[in-house]
A and B are shown apart, each in its own frame.
Chain A
Amino acid sequence: DIVMTQTPLSLSVTPGQPASISCKSSQSLVESDGKTYLYWYLQKPGQPPQLLIHEVSNRFSGVPDRFSASGSGTDFTLKISRVEAEDVGVYYCMQCVQLPWTFGQGTKVEIK
């Protein structure tokens, strides 16, 4: 199985300040079609997860542009340029290149 490792596991951020989450996979997430199947989700308190980023760096519909993501191969990063109160929750990366599809452990983001 592909292991997804996120760091840090928790983050306390002052509103308006940036935040960054790293996700590393145990194997390359590049498939034979050339695409990289790495996704980012946010699970707000008491809610199901919601898709933020698809295929490494593409913001999903309605996701604010303060969210950006990058990476390649096995190393990926999610960045929030200016954290807002509504960004609190647990962020997960996920790979869909090889079954079983696997998630990172989650990074809990809270506001200072």
Chain B
Amino acid sequence: KAGVTQTPRYLIKTRGQQVTLSCSPISGHRSVSWYQQTPGQGLQFLFEYFSETQRNKGNFPGRFSGRQFSNSRSEMNVSTLELGDSALYLCASSLAGRGARTDTQYFGPGTRLTVL
């Protein structure tokens, strides 16, 4: 079974631009979660989507948004990029049956975003 895939793997943008990242979950997984990883803040939860609805949200400004499609693929968007948005953005998928076993998250390779 194919793992979680993320595209693109690398992105370079300038301040003020916007960016869209894509995540395809493991086949059959209905939940997609997004995390930001930076050297200073570590791994931080952004949001989770399930059945095209945002189910959980972390403590990030409204510039960070996401969506999920009917095939469970998800995109996240960051508008008006700031230098501090430079990070590795990780996507994780799970079955999301809302039990510990079915909510085990499997991660993709990440998208490295650099903001200049």
Whether A associates with B in a native complex is no
Where the two chains meet, the residues of A that have a C-beta atom closer than 8 Å to any C-beta of B are none
Where the two chains meet, the residues of B that have a C-beta atom closer than 8 Å to any C-beta of A are none
